[in-house]
Structure 1
């Protein structure tokens, strides 16, 4: 049973591993939207949006409900946005660490490039 849970997690994260899918999920966190609304907001072709929505639907991350001739998509579980927010915080922490490292390297390089006065004996 343990292996099944890891496989579910791996498949779930694989489904989230595309920038357009992440952006679609961020849009759907604001409320349900049709394919046309999503493609208009993202300035993407309908086929690209439809393809990504199809994958997200197959992984039970989004659901589609028929509204006349159109399908409105929404998040299956709003907790997905919590997960994406945590991912953003992790990214920000890594970014802060990287910036700090570069600042420390810059300080070290600045100290090396200053000319030392000759010592007289």
Structure 2
């Protein structure tokens, strides 16, 4: 069971491992959209958006429902919204750590410059 779960997680994260797919998921977190809406919002070619939606559908991350001549895409699991929020927080934490390190380097550099002037 543990190996199956690890395999699922690896495949799941592999499906998320593309900036356009992440952007599509962020847009769908705001509400259901069709391909044309997604294409307009991301400013990408329709074929690129369709290709990424195909990957997300194949991994059961999004679903598509035909309405008239359009397919409306929806997040399969609303937990995706939380996952994206957690990823954003992890990114912010890394930024804070990086800024802290850079501030320390600057302080050390300022100290060295001050000492060399004396």
Distance 1:59 1:37 in 2: 22
Other-structure match for 1:98: 98
Q: For structure 2, which runs of at least 5 residues remain unmatched after alignment?
A: none
TM (norm. structure 2) is 0.96
1:38-76 deviation per Cα after TM superposition (whole angstroms, max 9, x unaligned): 001111100000000000000000000000111000100
Output the aligned Cα RMSD. 0.8
TM (norm. structure 1) is 0.94
Distance 2:27 2:2 in 1: 33
Q: Which has the larger radius of gyration?
A: 1
Please list every run of at least 4 consecutive aligned residues from structure 1 whose deviation after the TM superposition is greater than 4 angstroms.
none
Larger % of helix: which? 2
User: When the two structures are aligned, how many residues end up with a matched partner?
Assistant: 117
Q: For structure 1, which runs of at least 5 residues remain unmatched after alignment?
A: none
The Cα of 1:116 is off from its aligned counterpart by 4.9
- Tell me if 1:38 matches 2:38: yes
Other-structure match for 1:53: 53
